[in-house]
Amino acid sequence: MSLALRQRRLTIERLPGSMNRMDKHTFRIASFGVRVGTRLEGKTAREKLLTTLETLSEPGCLVISLDGIEVLSGSFADEAVALSYARLLTGEYGDRYMIVRSPVLEITEDLSSKLERRRMAMLCSSNDGWDVLGLLGAQMRETLALVIDRQETTAKELASLLGIRHNACLRRVGRLAELRLIRRKEVGSAGPHHRYRFFSILNP
Amino acid sequence: MAELTVKTIDQLLDRIVSQESAKLDLSSVEFVDPYALLLLGLALRYRLARRLPLRVQWPRSQYVRSWMDDMGFAKEVRSFRRSRRELHLLTSSALQPITLISKEEDVSRLVCAFDFCLSKRYPLTNESRNAFVKVMLELFQNIPQHSNATGEVEDPHGLAAMQDYTDSIFLGVADMGIGLRRSLSLRDEFALLSDKGALKKVVFEGMSRFVDPGHGGELQRIAQLVRKWDGLLAIRSGEALVYMDVEQGDVYDAPFFPGVQIAVRLPRHVFGIEAAPVDNRASAGFNE
């Protein structure tokens, strides 16, 4: 089957975009200073960040904005962002997500290093597009890119586009969902198995 | 000894802290860098706290004494004093005098003050300025966060000072806390490390006293950054010293001294400084 035909067929399977409507809110790190900072300051920021996250309706996405930031130290980044993200990954905040918004990627270098040390990965949108901060393998990035590109999709569609087995694809998207890089929503079941659709948490 | 610097201060340190010493002759000293100045001040305090008198012959050079005084050395060591005549005659090029670091709440403000001093004297590029601010944020906050992690230090605090030279900017940061070996020993797996072993773990492997992987790695990143910039980095703790510059980099034995002392010297071109200092007085001092 040609790629064009495959993509057309897969398009028919798409569900209405309303399924991925998310409550979005922007949390500005610059409100704590343009050059941040210490762990102590990061802890204060984390407390406010998590309180804001809690106020979002589900599904919700908190955009951590680095607009106006000149310096983001590793210590502040770890305390404010990486530790908040670690809490999010435990599932205690339900169907909520976090992404970083930074005008330039250079500012996020130390945050990326801290996420890597914690074996976590986080989406970052910048003026040049998007990137992943922290640790994520090439195959996972490829899968993530497809989900972002298509905005919503299924494992079947992705497996077909990636040219990999369905089970292998399920493992990849399952992991991406665990890392909160994409949103997974159950849409029914097929026999004993759940059926999911996968959504990008980044807008086009 | 003609110069008290990151390369020579260890030769003196042994003599300062040794119980047998009764006299210290610094009269021929004609140059002191901020790292050596901080270490000298701390070593004299260390001795004083043990009630071991030491007669110091201060440098004969008026420029050196003037610079030491302008750097606030007299506040650290009471026996040091510039003469009244020198006070009237000389203005040194002191950039950022010795500054006390004790509370984490103060760190950002102090870093801003250091940055302000440097950017007032030179037109810096934003990129270099921000990178240096990041270095200072991490080095300064290490003092309240780690130097008294065991709670055994009576007066936990650190000192920092900064000076500019014709070829570089020099930052010294020092404390007399528990040091890296004792700090790492709070983790069972690092309990038996030597000073050298602890220094290697922290600087080359990015370890810290916390098991949590988000902690640590800052000194490792600073070491990588300094190397990338062709700068000099010295980190001293207990009986070990990491020294790296453009030509070499290794861990060395050093005479014992408590706490952690750090020197960072970065070439001026890193900051985009090619021209003469903005403040003309800066070029008048011996430290140029």
Domains of chain A and any CATH numbers? 3-200 (1.10.10.10)
Residue B220 lies in a domain: yes
CA distance A104 to A106: 6
Residue B61 lies in a domain: yes
Confidence of residue B282 (pLDDT cuts 50, 70, 90): very low
Strand-pairing partners, residue B52, are: none
Section B176-182 average pLDDT = 97
More confident residue, A19 or B255: B255
Judge: B214–A40 Cβ closer than 8 Å, yes or no.
Answer: no
Residues of chain A with pLDDT under 50: 1-17
Residue B249 lies in a domain: yes
Number of folded domains that form chain B: 1
pLDDT, residue B284, reads 36
pTM for this structure? 0.90
Rounded to a whole number of angstroms, the distance from the CA of B116 to the nearest CA of chain A is 13
CATH of the domain at B44: 3.30.565.10
Q: Given B104, B138, B213, which is nearest A74 (Cβ)?
A: B138
Summarize pLDDT for B46-73 with one digit per residue, the tens. 998 888 888 999 999 988 999 999 999 9
More confident residue, A178 or B77: A178
Rounded to a whole number of angstroms, the distance from the CA of B159 to the nearest CA of chain A is 17
Tokens, residue B11:
């030769």
Residue B111 lies in a domain: yes
Judge: B214–A78 Cβ closer than 8 Å, yes or no.
Answer: yes
pLDDT, residue B88, reads 57
Nearest CA-CA partner of B38 in B13, B62, B14, B73: B73
Give DSSP secondary structure letters for B32-101: E-HHHHHHHHHHHHHHHHTT---EEE--S-HHHHHHHHHTTHHHH-TT----HHHHHH------EEEEEE
Q: Is the peptide bond before A37 cis (omega within 30 degrees of 0)?
A: yes
Summarize pLDDT for B194-252 with one digit per residue, the tens. 999 999 999 999 999 999 999 999 999 999 999 999 999 999 999 999 999 988 889 99
Residue B288 lies in a domain: no
Residue B116 lies in a domain: yes
Strand-pairing partners, residue B170, are: B163, B265
Summarize pLDDT for A86-109 with one digit per residue, the tens. 999 999 999 999 999 999 999 999
Domain residue limits at B253: 3-283
Cβ within 8 Å of residue A106, ≥6 positions away? none
CA distance A62 to B214: 22
Mean pLDDT of chain B: 90
Tokens, residue A30:
């610059």
Using the predicted structure, report yes or no on whether residue B138 has a pLDDT greater than 80. Answer: yes
CA distance B107 to A39: 10
Q: Which of residues 77-136 of A touch B (CB under 8 A)?
A: 78-79, 82-83, 110, 113-114, 117-119
pLDDT, residue A2, reads 45
Answer yes or no: are the C-beta atoms of A179 and A168 closer than 8 Å: no
DSSP H helical segments within chain B, as ranges?
A: 9-17, 34-49, 62-70, 73-76, 84-89, 107-121, 126-146, 179-184, 195-205, 218-228
Q: Which amino acid is at B51?
A: R
Tokens 């007032």 map to which residue? B120
